Amino acid sequence: MVINVQYFARLREDLGRDGDQVAITEGIDTVADLWRHLHREAPPPRLMVAVNQSHARLDTAIADGDEVAFFPPVTGG
Amino acid sequence: MGVRLFSEPFDPWSVVRERERALPMEKLGAASVFVGRMRDFNDAQDIRGMFLEHYPGMTERELERIVAEAQSRWPSITCEVAHRVGSIDPADTLVLVAVWSAHRVAARDACAEILERLKHEAPFWKRERLGDGSERWVESNTPGT
């Protein structure tokens, strides 16, 4: 299972990269699982998430080929 | 529906006029227009400019979803939404929300609703350039100010 992970804004700068390509075998069922797998810690407070370019939650299930984006609170307008 | 992103300065009133040329204005008794511009101050600091980052693809989808949901709630409305991205100078237009309807209440309420949802749901992020040359990310939009 391959997940395309993207980071935006301050999160991208703090992590020092635009994203990650993750090959996952088992035990990674949700967005929160994916974050813990990648960063070895709980998701930070106020983290926003999108799956396949739609707003999602930490308990949203993920599947092979998904695009998962993590970003800080949005500040447009 | 009309949703547009501009990477260069744009004139919101030209966007409104251009859209009105294609609308049955004899049916639309009300237009509610919000234009948001970049200030040269924020949190008691001078701001020289900003960069507006966005999530290409999702940003357009979110704006279209927000407009579609407003049109479900107020079926009589017609909407035009435009937003800047990239490098922005003070006084540049950041956002345009224009809503037309037969009557004033739908136009006014839908315009306010679209703007608030855009500010809290559409994936844009402001990075400000301060008077001393340093930069900072805007941490959050304040509700209703």
Tokens of A24: 């996952």
- Where are chain B's structural domains? 2-137
Range of the domain at A12: 2-71
At A3-62, the pLDDT tens digits run: 999 999 999 999 999 999 998 778 899 999 999 999 999 999 999 999 999 999 999 999
Q: Would you give the DSSP letter of residue A61?
A: B
Angle at which helices B58-73 and B104-121 cross, to 10°: 150
| pLDDT at residue B12, rounded to an integer | 98
pTM of the predicted structure, to 2 decimals: 0.95
* Within-domain flag for A30: yes
Q: How many domains does chain A have?
A: 1
* Within-domain flag for A76: no
CA angle B34, B122, A13 (to 5 degrees): 125
* Within-domain flag for A14: yes
Contact in structure between B78 and B101 (CB atoms under 8 Å):
yes
Tokens of B144: 């209703």
Mean predicted confidence (pLDDT) in B103-128: 98
CATH code, A43: 3.10.20.30
Cβ distance A74 to B58 less than 8 Å, yes or no, reads no
Q: Are strands B78-84 and A67-71 parallel, antiparallel or unpaired?
A: unpaired
| pLDDT at residue B1, rounded to an integer | 59
| Helix (H), strand (E) at residue B113 | helix B104-121
Domain B2-137 CATH class label: alpha beta
Contact in structure between B9 and B92 (CB atoms under 8 Å):
yes
Mean predicted confidence (pLDDT) in B113-121: 97
State yes or no: pLDDT of B9 exceeds 80.
Answer: yes
Residue of chain A minimizing CA distance to B142: A75
| pLDDT at residue A24, rounded to an integer | 79
At B75-89, the pLDDT tens digits run: 999 999 999 999 999
| Euclidean distance between CA atoms A61 and A32, whole angstroms | 9
State yes or no: pLDDT of B44 exceeds 90.
Answer: no
Residue B58 touches chain A, beta carbons under 8 Å: yes
Looking up tokens 């996952």 gives: A24
